[in-house]
Structure formats: C-alpha cells, structure tokens
Amino acid sequence: MVMLRSDFEEIGGFDEAFINGCEDIDLCLNIRHLGKQIYVAPNSQILHHVSLSRSRTSLQNEKNSQYLYAKWRKEIKLKLTKSWIDLLENSNTDYQYFIDGTLTPSFRSKRHSAAIAIAEAALLREEARWHRELGNPTSLDNWLNNVSVSGVTEVKQLKKYLADSQINIYIDKIKTAQNFYVCARLLDEVDIETIEVELSVNDAQKKAFRLSDGRVINVGIINPIIFPGQKNHFKAEIYFIDADGIKTKPAPNAILISHFVIDDQVVKPS
C-alpha cells in the first residue's frame, strides 16, 4: 500500500482495535472518507518469505470482521445495494449465483427496494452468526413465541399434520434466518412423480421441488430474504403435475408434515 504520509496522519493511522486483519480495509475506507480514491493494481506480485496467514475462519478473523462491519455498516450496505441494483437491472439470471431459488417477478420489478432488502438481509445474517459464534449476549430466538401456522390438520395417532394444498406460516419479530425447511412424508397412495412442492418467503423468493426419490420430504430455502420489522410470510404449496412437469391442480391431503425448520429452530403447528 502506498499513500501520502499526510493522508495517513490525517486519518490517525491504523485503527489498533483490529488485530492483524481488516486494518488495511479500514484504512482504505478512511482514506476514501476524505474524498480520495483507492486504486488496486491486480497484476502486482509480492513474495512472502515468511507466511503468517491465519485461517479464514479463525476466531480472530471473525472478531475483526464483526468490528469492521459494525464500524462501516452504512457504507457496506450501500455497496451491496448498488451491486444488487446492477444485478437486478439485467434481464439475465446472474443473480441466482447469490440467491437460493429465484426472485419473484413482482419483487424483482421493484429493483431499488429489492436491492435494499437483500443487502439488509445479508448483513443481518452475518451479524446474527457473529452473535452466536462469538457469544455476544443477545436473544435471537424470541420470535418462536410469535408463530402462527395454518393449512394443516393434526393427526394425533401419528403425531403429524396432514397438509392442505397451501400452508402458511406467519412470524412476527424475526430479524433474520439461515434457512426454511419443510420436513414431511408423502402418503403411500400418492404417486411420487405427480407431486411438486413450491416454497416461498414473503412473496419475494421461491423454490420448486419435484419429488422423484423416496417418500421422505426434506426441502428448503437457504438464506431466505427476511423483512425485519414486518410480519414475515413463509409458504409451502403442493401441486399435482402432469408427465411434462406442468402444474395441473392443487394437491391437498398428499403429505404429512412432521415439522418445519426456520433459522435452525424446529417449528411445529400449535
């Protein structure tokens, strides 16, 4: 890294709260905060005669990253948002490298608000992960008391729930989630190859599953897009499909639900 000594001194040098990691990124962000530009020479090469690199997943790196995100959260979110606006502006599906499933047309059409929501969801997931892994005192699971489930009927003798063609799960006060899974079993009298399960979250993100291998169902969406401060809607729809894989009609009473998993927490209809 090369810069003017006067710039280095104006920003107060390196932030010594970082311990051998992220201090260079923080320094660049501080320089840019002065209104100056940062340039990268990607073809430059440096040979380290002694290597002191740490594991990417070390506790030290996680603490450094958490501090960097907290210090520059606004700037990081803005950068993420701009990147997502560019991704969503194109007609191709390059964004699917970063999203499990697909974005609904209605959500994607509101490009700016969609980009903000995706960026915020990503930041909140990382912050929650740091809370868990670094042992910071916070309650991430208080949403468990604010769950309502409809579209299922309890089968007491089996300790399971018969699913209608649409299951709705509404959750208040959930800020983030690592996953959304439906754990179930297809009824014996239903042909495996005639069923499709479609999951969606907040009418923003969806993913469809064709059942073709066994009767145990364990389908889900990784890193669902959560809207903090709102009532979040998780949905599972079951359809009959024809030989060409086209949906023909809803399929009520085709699967028995064991439970759902949201943010690694088991959720059962009450």
CA–CA distance, 267 with 270 (Å, rounded to integer): 9
Amino acid at 20: N
The pLDDT value given to residue 12: 95
- How many other CB atoms are there within 10 angstroms of residue 1's CB atom? 8
Both tokens assigned to 100 = 């499990």
CA 62 from centroid of its chain's CA atoms? 19
Q: What is the mean pLDDT of the chain?
A: 92
Name every residue whose Cβ is closer than 8 Å to that of residue 186 and which is 6 or more positions away in sequence: 192, 195, 211, 215, 217, 254, 255
pLDDT single digits (tens) 104-121: 999 999 999 999 999 999
Find the mean pLDDT for residues 121-144: 85
Band of pLDDT at residue 162, cut at 50, 70 and 90: very high
pTM: 0.89
Task: Please state which CATH class domain 144-267 belongs to.
Answer: mainly beta
Domain ranges of the chain: 5-47+56-134, 144-267
Band of pLDDT at residue 73, cut at 50, 70 and 90: very high
